[in-house]
Amino acid sequence: MGKLDDRVAIITGGSGGIGRAAGKKFVDEGAKVLLVDLDERALREAVDAIGTKNATFECSDVTSDDDTQRYVKAALERFGHIDIFLANAGIEGNVKQIPDYPIEVFDRVIAVNVRGVWLGLKHVIPAMAKSGGGSISVEGIGFAIPVNLARGVMKEILEYGHVIRGWIGILPEDYDDEQAGQLRLPHGGVVVANMYRNSPAVDASLHLGDIITQVDGRPVHSAQDTLSQIVVKKPGANVRLHILREHRELDVVVHVIERPNSIQGT
Ligand SMILES: NC(=O)c1ccc[n+]([C@@H]2O[C@H](COP(=O)([O-])OP(=O)(O)OC[C@H]3O[C@@H](n4cnc5c(N)ncnc54)[C@H](O)[C@@H]3O)[C@@H](O)[C@H]2O)c1
Give residue-wise pLDDT tens across range 151-164.
444 444 434 434 56
Per CATH, which fold does 166-258 belong to?
Answer: Pdz3 Domain (2.30.42)
Average of per-residue pLDDT values in the chain: 82
pTM attached to this predicted model: 0.61
pLDDT of 138 > 90? The answer is: no
Query: Does residue 43 have its Cβ closer than 6 Å to ligand 1?
Result: no
Distance CA 94, CA 263 (A): 12
Our mutation pick for probing the ligand 1 site, out of 12, 39, 64, 91, counting the most ligand atoms within 8 A of Cβ, is: 91
Q: Which one, of 26, 42, 34, 38, lies nearest residue 10 by Cα?
A: 34
pLDDT of 219 > 90? The answer is: no
For range 133-152, the mean pLDDT = 35
Query: Does residue 157 have its Cβ closer than 6 Å to ligand 1?
Result: no
For range 40-53, the mean pLDDT = 92
Given this model, what pLDDT does residue 51 score?
A: 85
Our mutation pick for probing the ligand 1 site, out of 15, 20, 37, counting the most ligand atoms within 8 A of Cβ, is: 37
Write out pLDDT tens, residues 67-119: 999 999 999 999 999 888 888 999 988 888 888 899 999 999 999 998 998 89
User: Letter for the amino acid at 30?
Assistant: G
Every domain range in the chain assigned CATH 2.30.42.10? 166-258
Banded pLDDT at 20 (limits 50, 70, 90): very high
- Residue closest via CA to ligand 1's atom 41 equals 90
- Which residues on adjacent β-strands are paired with residue 175? 189
Distance CA 36, CA 225 (A): 15
For range 181-186, the mean pLDDT = 71
Per CATH, which fold does 8-158 belong to?
Answer: Rossmann fold (3.40.50)
Query: Does residue 14 have its Cβ closer than 6 Å to ligand 1?
Result: no
Atom index in ligand 1 nearest the CA of residue 113 equals 41
Q: How far is the CA of 255 from the centre of ligand 1 (A)?
A: 22
Q: Please give the C-alpha separations between residue 256 and each of 22, 100, 165, 194, in angstroms, as whole numbers.
A: 22, 29, 9, 17
Banded pLDDT at 185 (limits 50, 70, 90): confident
Atom index in ligand 1 nearest the CA of residue 259 equals 3
Write out pLDDT tens, residues 257-266: 987 766 666 6
Every domain range in the chain assigned CATH 3.40.50.720? 8-158
Q: How far is the CA of 18 from the centre of ligand 1 (A)?
A: 7
